[in-house]
Amino acid sequence: MSFLDTLKRSWNGLLGTRHIKGSRRGTANYSYLNARVRGMKSYLFPKETYPRLMNMEIDQIARFIQESSYKEDIDQLAQTYEGADLIEHALNRNLAESFTKLINISEDEPRYLITEYLRKFDVWNIKTILRGKQMNASPDEIKENLVSAGEYTYTFLSGLAEKESVEEVVEAFSDSSYYSILNKFDGTNLSDIENMLDKMYYDQLYYAISETKTKEFKLFLQFVQTEIDVRNLITLFRTKKENLPEEDIIDMMIDNGLEFDMDDIRKLVPLSFEEFIDELKKYSIWDKISDAVDPDMKSLISVETSLKKYALTYARKFAHANPLSIATIMYYILTKSNEVNNLRIIVRGKSAGLSDETIRNQLVI
């Protein structure tokens, strides 16, 4: 399995971090921030764009997105990259710039919440670099998948991609809270390290937002807990198809879901795949994914896509029910991330020679 294939599957005090200040408390001008976010959201592609892109070649897609909000990214990178590589780098650069702008135009409470959530990209980047080093990927291959939308700058992260060994990468985080996990890497347990990093992110995010009981924090917490539910369900579908041992599955589960707490998870883990599906029918999420689930299903693409669509639909309804709140901002973050993921899927799929049907089934529209 290639490096790219595997990727599909306190943070302060370190050189190369952005100085991001936010406060749990303070005057939160959500009206102003939501107005700015509506402007940013207007640049997103409508869903009708994707069928058009499916009929284009890679170079045509590059020219198409060059005429959109990705123009500056394509223009600046075109002298260094071309084809699919150009689009990949442009997408990652644009995503990082968009979320950095979001942080910069916010302050106090919303800035704090947005910053805490976007730390997921720090975890993504650390995992990407470690996985790339272990698989002897080139620095350019690693850099192609970096998204500097969290605390660490692209300069710092790309420097890590140039390091000779995993040990050097680990030591670069010696002053961060990640080090207690990264220092356990022994050359054979990267999957365990990645799992611990994911759980650490959600544990610390939950702690950061659950201690304060304001309306915005409660809305934000519900959004995060729904995301945890979706992640856990995707993991359960995958691990049950692979017949992994129960204790290994439990170790991968993230605590503090909304509809699926750890008691629910522990009931689901021992079940066979067929029993697992029957048990899911008791939960409200079943109606959103039932059309994609079958006891004899060979591929999980359809159910994973349905779960991601559910998360996006939930966020949209949540935002519409709570205008002028953090919910609208989080919906933008999700939709922008989804746009970049959809574009990646199309470009990577076409580069790999996948059928249109295979590509289309993975799009979250």
Q: Tell me the pLDDT of the chain (365 aa) as tens digits.
A: 554 454 444 333 334 555 455 555 544 689 999 999 999 999 999 999 999 999 999 999 999 999 999 999 999 999 999 999 999 999 999 999 999 999 999 999 999 999 999 999 999 999 999 999 999 999 999 998 999 999 999 999 999 999 999 999 999 999 999 999 999 999 899 999 999 999 999 999 999 998 887 888 999 999 999 999 999 999 999 999 999 999 999 999 999 999 999 999 999 999 999 999 999 999 999 999 999 999 999 899 999 999 999 999 999 999 999 999 999 999 999 999 999 999 999 999 999 999 999 999 999 99
**19: which 2 tokens?**
């100085």
Collect contacts of 137-141 with beta carbons under 8 A, ≥24 apart: 137/3, 141/3, 141/4
**261: which 2 tokens?**
């707490």
Torsion of the alpha carbons at 10, 194, 226 and 287, rounded to the nearest 10: 180
Asked if residue 73 lies in contact with residue 343, where contact means CB atoms within 8 angstroms, the answer is no
Helix 108-118 vs helix 215-241: angle between axes, to the nearest 10 degrees?
10
pTM here is 0.90
